[in-house]
Structure 1
Amino acid sequence: MNRDNITLLNQGRASALATNKVLRNTYLLLGLTFMFSGMMAYISYAMRMPPLNILVMIVGVYGLMFLTQALKDSPWGLVSCFAFTGFLGFTLGPILNLYIANFSNGHQLIATALGGTGIIFFALSGYALTTQKDFSFLSGFLFIGIMVAFLG
């Protein structure tokens, strides 16, 4: 084996390690923001908050979204990311109250939706990470599926 091949192998390992570190950090941040959003939804549910005015909600969501984008390269970007997900969780509380008040099995519906989403997310993430396949070929199919779901 000549020296060029050894260098290529070492660069490939370094690239794989960097990719795994980025994935680990991404999943950690995703998990933390989901937990914070869930805590805020529970606080809103426990306080029996009424639904927010639609204008306040739109301004809050878009304002925090743009703030997160503007601060993405600073440590305050992480704070604004948590503020954004916390606000989304807080707006979910009145919807949870609505389901619990209007359906006899409201708690079960919410728990089933939460559990099903978590199981599907972790199963698909595990499959994608263990097979090491590139799933970018599915982007067109997913976009069409989302459009059909929204418009259909």
Structure 2
Amino acid sequence: MEQRSSYSSAGEASVLQTNKVLRNTYMLLAMTLTFSAVCAGIAMSMGLGRGTAMMMSLGALVMIFFLNKASQSSMGILFVFVFTGLLGASLGPMLNHYAGFPGGSGLILQAFGTTALVFFGLSGYVLTTKKDFLLWAVFCS
């Protein structure tokens, strides 16, 4: 007599729920990165000094504790945006410094492009393999 066994790793509803979580995670990541870039641009145009950037970095470190406390509430989203905004604005003076070098703006664009390429490459890998991608998405966000 032949025994046949079939195993299912996940149901259709589970896959749809996982895809929704992953889509929301990527959307939030895109929005926070955009907000951080806008804050960096504003800080660059304002010509903020290194001391101000240091204070914003320290403020971002303090925001980590607020993020931890509000992680299970809707205020957590606000704190995430404040955190990324402070980090982006603290990059402004450093970006101004490097933009002043010969070829500095090209260096900044190369760093941005490489970061985007690695992120999209890893995202594509995770979305095509569908192996532990929820854990990866949570770890990277």
Give the TM-score of the pair, scaled to structure 2: 0.82
> Does structure 1 residue 106 correspond to structure 2 residue 126?
no
Q: Which amino acid in 1 is paired with 2:125?
A: Y
Q: Is the 8 A contact 1:49 1:93 kept in 2?
A: yes
Shift of 1:52: 2.7
Q: Greater helix share, 1 or 2?
A: 1
Q: Which amino acid in 2 is paired with 1:81?
A: V
Q: Secondary structure at the match of 1:96?
A: helix
Q: Is the 8 A contact 1:52 1:91 kept in 2?
A: no
Percent sequence identity over matched residues?
A: 45
Shift of 1:134: 3.4
1:77 maps to what in 2? 76
Aligned-residue Cα RMSD (Å) equals 2.4
Write the distance in 1 (CA, Å) between the matches of 2:22 and 2:43.
31
1:29 maps to what in 2? 28
1:134 maps to what in 2? 132
Shift of 1:128: 1.2
Shift of 1:133: 2.5
Shift of 1:53: 5.4
Q: Is the 8 A contact 1:68 1:80 kept in 2?
A: yes
Shift of 1:124: 1.3
TM-aligned CA distance change 1:50 to 1:65, over 3 Å: same
Write the distance in 1 (CA, Å) between the matches of 2:35 and 2:62.
19
Q: Is the 8 A contact 1:44 1:91 kept in 2?
A: yes
Q: Is the 8 A contact 2:53 2:90 kept in 1?
A: no
1:65 maps to what in 2? 64
Query: Can you list the C-alpha shifts for 1:46-93, whole angstroms capped at 9, x where unaligned?
Result: 111101358634531221111111111221111110000000000000
Aligned residue pair count: 129
Q: Is the 8 A contact 2:95 2:108 kept in 1?
A: yes
TM-aligned CA distance change 1:50 to 1:28, over 3 Å: same
Give the TM-score of the pair, scaled to structure 1: 0.76
Q: Is the 8 A contact 1:37 1:90 kept in 2?
A: yes
Higher relative contact order (CA 8 A, sep 6+): 2
